[in-house]
Amino acid sequence: YKTPHSMQLEQCEIMALLWILSCLAFIGATYGCGVPAISPVVTGYARIVNGEEAVPHSWPWQVSLQDSTGFHFCGGSLVNEYWVVTAAHCNVRTSHVVVLGEHDRSSNAENVQVMKIAKSIRHPNYNSYTINNDVAVIKLATPAKLSPRVSPVCLAETSDNFAGGMKCVTSGWGLTRYNAANTPARLQQAALPLLTNTNCQSYWGNKITNLMICAGASGASSCMGDSGGPLVCQKSGAWTLVGIVSWGSGTCSTSMPGVYARVTSLRSWIDQTIATN
């Protein structure tokens, strides 16, 4: 049977356990999805052409995909400590690296995490001609260390509806002019309105499928080098991955909408692939 002393000890143990759990919950909340520790500042809701420099580390899920020489070729989005979502057309190999926590690619002073890749899995129905199913997931060889500069984005739910006209944000180190010699050193962002697919088809015709979502035609655009990176919209106060930079005008025209892989349509494949790998 229990003595008052043992009951008191149990109470202490329960209190200690609750305290530990509340601390863990706080840590989880601190780096929950879609809520940057460093708040983004988006002015010009104005590939990223006519964008602006992002507040350093305010898009903490943004990753740079680099080859062995350190050349940045695509973006991506951290969705949990082991997995990154990017575009299938980026052709990520296990010899490439994922760089987390970067803002200024010309700086050696940033405390970045350079992660090896254990697996790179493209959507099996990716079609390089139609650019349908332009999604891939990357499994990191070791887990990312979550911090104020590195935390995951939320993934849009299959049932979510993000309406035409909604202002969303894309980010990346892609070209700021389609004919520029180099990609920018510092992370750029641009606020872009979503288009309905019907509206987008008035620009791109039957190339637009239900596996795509369009944004832009508003004086800003994604461009080469932004591919695989995020198009995020706010949902219930959390930034949510709605699109993956996929394709667009060859000159990154800011009067043509950019086309993004539609996460709501691809979410079930993302979930299944992460769960089984």
- Return the active site residues: 89, 134, 227
Given phi > 0 = left and psi -120 to 50 = alpha, else beta, which region is 77?
Answer: beta
In Å, what is the CA distance from 53 to each residue of 42, 172, 173? 10, 10, 10
Six-digit token string for 94:
């296990």
Nearest to 36 by CA among 193, 213, 169, 186: 169
In Å, what is the CA distance from 165 to each residue of 14, 15, 197, 218, 250? 51, 50, 12, 11, 24
CB burial of residue 151 (10 Å; 0-12, 13-18, 19+) = buried
